[in-house]
A and B are shown apart, each in its own frame.
Chain A
Amino acid sequence: MTLDLRYTEEQEALRDSVRAMLTDHAGWARVLQVAASPEPDDADLWRLLSVDTGLAALAVPEHLGGAGASLAETAVVLEELGRAVAPVPYLGTTVAAQLLLHLGEDELLRDLAGGAIIAPAMPCDVGPAGPGARLPDVEVSTAADGSPLLNGTVCGVADASRARVLVMPAGGALFAVDADAAGLRRTPVVSLDETRPLCDLAMWNAPARLLAAGERAASALDAALVAGAALLASEQLGLAQWCLDTTVAHLRTRYQFGRPVGSFQALKHRLADLWVELVQARAVARHAVAAVAAGDPDARLAAALAQAHCGPLAVRAAEECVQMHGGIGFTWEHPAHLYLKRAKSAAIAYGTAAHHRTALATLADLAPA
């Protein structure tokens, strides 16, 4: 299947409007203020993205309250959110929506489209879809009335701190858990990336509702993990683009030794190399979301490829951004550190590049030694 890797005019228009909104409502000073506060995310910005504009449910069908768009549009929003390191639970909600769509959970999808945060209750480093995925070790027991109860802990969960509902894999099945239920405790983690902070979940006989079991649960989870890896690549792409743009702007105006610092080849060549990687990241990330959106049989490979390339690229872009800003780039008052922390955190989310290369060994028939 030939997938179109370009942006449509509508997607470019979407990008412009999201960028304008984030410029107004998620400037880096605001992001830093939220990150340094006890709040896990920017509730005002989330309301804007969900209730006010419907951007949080772009890929949810219209009859369920969503915008009926595809993941290719969602990915454009994620590029802009990455560009702003916006502290909102957008990625987790999008992945949860994919799970719920597979399971036909219309009621929960309506809640999600209405602005409720629904998050997958998985460790953020769950890893590539497949048998190697690191799913939480949560036990399922049965209450007197026959309903399921969950026991165990899930550490390092992203986007769950203010979630209303958690979608939890346990015992080979998928459950919906009311996040305020008795028997479930969320403990905030002091996180490297406070723009997408983690929390730990602990459950003692937490009441749950069975969503799916067996093959149906496994395939829904699998598809959601593939979608998560693919979508995260777009966020990483947007983050890397901001780092490159900001560094170039700085090097054009910063003078040392009587000349713009950006005229030194030692820096120019590194940024040219970064641009070369970024150009490829755009193709790889667009390919991944296009493959997932089209249900292409290549989607799993495309998503693993996207993470193997875009995760390290975003880290490198953020590292270059810090380094090439010199002293100012190492300060709390410059946004570079927010991007550095998000990039490193995102390189681990949904599995590291090394995890995805291991997955590719199987997908591309390159067996280990």
Chain B
Amino acid sequence: MGASATEPVTAESLRERVDGFLAGHDTAQDRLEFLRARFDAGLAWVHYPAGLGGLGAPRVLQPVVDQRFAAAGAPDNSPRRIGIGLGMAAPTILRHGTAEQRARFLRPLWTAEEVWCQLFSEPGAGSDLAGVATRAVRDGDGWLVDGQKVWTSMAHQARWGILLARTDPAAPKHAGLTYFLCDMHAPGVEVRPLRQATGEAEFNEVFLSGVRLDDGLRLGAVGEGWAVARTTLMNERVAIGGAALPREGGMIGVLARTWRTRPELRTPALHDEVLRLWVRAEALRLTGIRLRQQLAAGEPGPEGSAMKLAFAALTQQISGTEVELLGAEGLRHDHWRADRPEELDLTGRGPTYRWLRAKGNSIEGGTSEVLRNIVAERVLGLPAEPRTDTGVAWKDLPR
């Protein structure tokens, strides 16, 4: 049921395709069988090529398909649980993978049979990701990997990880990297929960000790790891999925409801603070709507970076104001259990949890400081900071 090269895919033709598929597949059947059949019908991610779960259709038509399946009560692939696979691993494998790699990995990735994690950040390589120290050394027809990764969400559930490792320490840091698909079940992979300031263990540390990877798990050429990683990172930054929120649909809604229902907490100064935050939240919401309209019209812009920066600052301030508004009551924390949440929930739990969790928003997925550098240099065109690490062998860099 591949897409014909002569027949353009439209929203209407997609709806017909979905309806045709639903006529032949019971939504109450085995969830995995249903998802595999949907993938094979090219109705998984319609902008992917035929044979790899797609139809080569415009990406903006994906919601047409998803909404049709959702309306029919079809099982979904828990997209939030496999966000790293969908948003980062899959586009990278599609772009840089061999035919064998695409055929092997994309289907179970999309059906959520195999969860993915990202093995990029290290204790010594956070904002300066190209400085990673995890080593991959040739070992016959494969590689031996040793090192430590950190801030790895979902590693404890992951079957595979996208791994950035150093294969040539004598080359300048960007040139000595190679990208691998790491078997998380291989001997020598150890995942340890990492507790955060919230008390939860949302992330992990991953220790790689003599992990043997077949050369068939290398993605892209040896020494080309940075170029491959950039595909992953660019997709991380454009991944603003989901529908636009309604007014007060985010964290500001929690604060506004507290303000409305607890008149005894109000002060004039906090009133202006709440109004200022409400203005910023609504401005950011409208920015998201405008950005989605531009993306849908095929006019992608750099505004996603603005959203991330503004979102981080806003959630931190809204949650901080909420704790203050509640006074001593706001200091009562629900629990410090080391839970292992699978989804980021910025409106759930209590105000102190929200305030603490929001601190991560300006660090995860690129710190706000690095993001400001990127905006200044790539969007505004300001000159780069003078660097001391270009043209120097990675092994000779101070650390």
Within 8 A of A (CB), among B235-277: 256, 259-260, 263, 266-268, 270-272, 274-276
Cβ contact within 8 Å between B383 and A252 = yes
Cβ contact within 8 Å between B380 and A275 = yes
Cβ contact within 8 Å between A6 and B290 = yes
Contact with A along B362-380 (1 / 0, CB 8 A): 0000000101110111011
Cβ contact within 8 Å between A6 and B294 = yes
Cβ contact within 8 Å between A369 and B270 = yes
Cβ contact within 8 Å between B279 and A268 = no
| Residue A283 interfacial (CB < 8 Å) | yes
Q: How far is the CA of A264 from the CA of B376 in the complex (A)?
A: 10
Known: A248-B382, A366-B256. A6 touches B271 (CB 8 A): no
Known: A271-B382, A365-B260. A309 touches B279 (CB 8 A): yes
In the complex, which residue of chain A has the Cβ closest to the Cβ of B275?
A: A357
Contact with B along A1-19 (1 / 0, CB 8 A): 0001110000000000000
Cβ contact within 8 Å between B260 and A6 = no
In the complex, which residue of chain B has the Cβ closest to the Cβ of A5?
A: B290
Contact with B along A246-278 (1 / 0, CB 8 A): 001001100000011011110111011101100
A: interface residue count bin: 35 or more
B382 in complex: contacting residue of A251, A357, A368, A369, CB < 8 Å: A251
**CB contacts between A and B, total, < 8 Å:** 133
Q: How far is the CA of A360 from the CA of B278 in the complex (A)?
A: 9
| Residue A35 interfacial (CB < 8 Å) | no
Cβ contact within 8 Å between B286 and A287 = yes
Contact with A along B152-182 (1 / 0, CB 8 A): 0000000000000000000000000000000
Q: How far is the CA of A365 from the CA of B275 in the complex (A)?
A: 10
Contact with B along A22-42 (1 / 0, CB 8 A): 000000000000000000000
B279 in complex: contacting residue of A6, A264, A360, CB < 8 Å: A360
| Residue B72 interfacial (CB < 8 Å) | no
| Residue A280 interfacial (CB < 8 Å) | yes
Stretch in B95-103, B140-148, B302-310, B331-339 touching the partner = B302-310
| Residue B24 interfacial (CB < 8 Å) | no
| Residue B381 interfacial (CB < 8 Å) | yes
| Residue B13 interfacial (CB < 8 Å) | no
Cβ contact within 8 Å between A271 and B293 = no
In the complex, which residue of chain B has the Cβ closest to the Cβ of A357?
A: B275
Cβ contact within 8 Å between B382 and A262 = yes
Kindly provide the distance from the CB of B368 to the nearest chain A CB, expressed in whole angstroms. Answer: 9
Cβ contact within 8 Å between A286 and B275 = no
| Residue A282 interfacial (CB < 8 Å) | yes
Q: Interface on A for B, CB 8 Å cutoff?
A: 4-6, 244, 248, 251-252, 259-260, 262-265, 267-269, 271-273, 275-276, 279-284, 286-287, 305, 308-309, 354, 357-358, 360-361, 364-369
Q: Interface on B for A, CB 8 Å cutoff?
A: 256, 259-260, 263, 266-268, 270-272, 274-276, 278-280, 282-284, 286-287, 289-291, 293-294, 297, 299, 303, 306, 309-310, 369, 371-373, 375-377, 379-386
What are 7 residue pairs bridging A and B, where the CB atoms are less than 8 Å apart in the complex?
A: A5-B290, A263-B386, A273-B309, A276-B310, A357-B276, A360-B275, A366-B275
